[in-house]
């Protein structure tokens, strides 16, 4: 039987059990300047928190963890068909930015599922051309990326979403590379909302992509034995040029119980953040959080 907390783990005085859960997440994070948050999908209760002083205060670019929200917004507004496909050219230039895809060359056209699984920049940037001026920013705000969660104390920061007007800025924003700064808490909250919608028919390509990321794509290091995980990695550079690695996801993928968000300094969401998420979710499955 999995143990649940009746009281959220938040900044301030912990109960003995809550402090134990926080210690376990801090242990999973190791000596990094990272942060992690585990939230019960149904009750919105915080299960455990690590790097508590950073969960709701550090505003950072989310990288590719934003891609499911960009694509689901286009599906919702019927600007992207569920069966849409695009042959990835591998090379991507947006203004002065070089954002070439890092996945292996794929001879067949990408679909939404494979684009998310392999984190295809070209597919998402191409799809983002369908957004109207400022439309993506509004969708991100509605997903909770500019709202306090209440999970990180009274001084919790609020994400910053800059309306993207030009086509290139829309494409960069869809990739989580520009015009958006978020907290770990906001990412967890947004993925919780995503998890609650995952049974909707129009969300099936998104779910398949998030499952694929963990099964065979960029997030394989987040796999948990005996249960299917859905999730997405992300990597970005801060304004100071420091690399940050992300993972966000939930399990079980088809009947979500908890959502996890992890942020650590690192150059690869798949290599640096996903393994930590996998350890945290394994602890949860073992009833140790």
Task: Give 218-252 pLDDT, tens digit per residue.
Answer: 999 999 999 999 999 999 999 999 999 999 999 99
Q: Where do the domains of the chain lie?
A: 16-285
Q: What is the mean pLDDT of residues 193-214?
A: 97
Tokens of 232: 């997405």
Residues 6+ positions from 151 with CB-CB distance below 8 Å: 8, 10, 37, 39, 46, 49, 55, 56, 185, 188, 189
- pLDDT at residue 76 tops 90: yes
> For residue 12, with 0-12 CB atoms within 10 Å meaning exposed, 13-18 middle and 19 or more buried, which class applies?
exposed
- pLDDT at residue 288 tops 90: no
Q: What is the mean pLDDT of residues 171-194?
A: 97
Q: How confident is the model at residue 6 (pLDDT cuts 50, 70, 90)?
A: very low
Q: What is the mean pLDDT of residues 47-71?
A: 94
- pLDDT at residue 156 tops 60: yes
More confident residue, 142 or 153: 142
Task: Supply the pLDDT for residue 95.
Answer: 93
More confident residue, 97 or 4: 97
Measured from the Cβ of residue 131, the count of other Cβ atoms closer than 10 Å reads: 23
Q: How confident is the model at residue 153 (pLDDT cuts 50, 70, 90)?
A: confident
Task: Supply the pLDDT for residue 51.
Answer: 87
Per CATH, domain 16-285 is 3.40.710.10? yes
Residues 6+ positions from 45 with CB-CB distance below 8 Å: 4, 5, 6, 7, 8, 39
Task: Supply the pLDDT for residue 8.
Answer: 33
**pLDDT tens for residues 128-150?**
999 999 999 999 999 999 999 99
Q: What is the mean pLDDT of residues 183-205?
A: 96
Average model confidence (pLDDT) for the chain?
90
- CA 281, 192, 22, 64 dihedral sign is positive
Task: Supply the pLDDT for residue 40.
Answer: 96
Q: What is the mean pLDDT of residues 194-212?
A: 97
Task: Supply the pLDDT for residue 27.
Answer: 73
- pLDDT at residue 15 tops 60: no
**pLDDT tens for residues 16-48?**
334 555 566 777 776 668 899 999 999 999 999
Percent of the chain's residues with pLDDT above 90: 84
- pLDDT at residue 3 tops 80: no
What is the distance between the alpha carbons of residues 200 and 283, in angstroms, rounded to a whole number? 29
DSSP the chain: -----SS---SSPPPHHHHHHHHHHHHHHTTSS-EEEEEETTT--EEEEESHHHHTT--B--GGGGHHHHHHHHHHTTSS-TT-EE---S--EETTEE----SPP-SSPEEHHHHHHTT-HHHHHHHGGGPPTTHHHHHHHHTTTTS--SSS-TT----EEPPP-SHHHHHHHHTTSSSEEB-HHHHHHHHHHHHHHTTSGGGHHHHHHHHHHHHTSTTGGG-BTTB--EEEEEEEE-TTS-EEEEEEEEESSSS--EEEEEEEESS-IIIIIHHHHHHHHHHHHTT--
Select from 124, 255, 145, 230 the least CA-distant residue to 189.
145
Task: Supply the pLDDT for residue 52.
Answer: 85
């Amino acid at each position: 039987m999995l143990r649940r907390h009746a009281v959220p783990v938040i900044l301030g005085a912990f109960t003995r059990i809550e402090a134990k859960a926080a210690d376990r997440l801090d242990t999973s994070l190791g000596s990094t300047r990272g942060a992690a948050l585990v939230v019960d999908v149904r009750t919105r209760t915080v299960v455990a928190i690590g790097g508590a002083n950073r969960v709701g205060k550090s505003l950072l670019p989310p990288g590719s963890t934003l891609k499911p929200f960009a694509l689901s917004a286009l599906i919702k507004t019927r600007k992207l068909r569920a069966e849409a496909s695009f042959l990835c050219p591998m090379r991507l230039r947006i203004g002065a930015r070089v954002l070439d895809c890092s996945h292996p060359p794929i001879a067949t056209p990408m679909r939404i599922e494979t684009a998310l699984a392999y984190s295809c920049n070209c597919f998402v940037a191409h799809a983002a051309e369908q957004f109207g001026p400022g439309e993506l920013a509004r969708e991100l705000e509605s997903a909770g990326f500019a709202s306090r969660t209440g999970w990180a104390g009274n001084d919790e920061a609020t994400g910053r979403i800059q309306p993207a007007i030009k086509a290139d800025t829309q494409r960069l924003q869809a990739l989580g590379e520009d015009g958006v700064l978020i907290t770990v808490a906001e990412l967890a909250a947004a993925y919780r909302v995503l998890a609650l919608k995952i049974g909707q028919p129009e969300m099936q390509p998104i779910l398949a992509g998030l499952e694929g990321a963990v099964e065979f794509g960029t997030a394989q290091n987040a796999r948990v034995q005996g249960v299917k995980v859905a999730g997405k990695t992300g990597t970005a550079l801060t304004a100071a040029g420091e690399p940050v690695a992300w993972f966000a996801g939930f399990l079980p993928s088809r009947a979500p119980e908890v959502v996890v968000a992890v942020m650590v300094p690192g150059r690869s969401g798949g290599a640096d953040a996903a393994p930590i998420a996998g350890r945290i979710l394994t602890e949860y499955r073992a009833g140790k959080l």
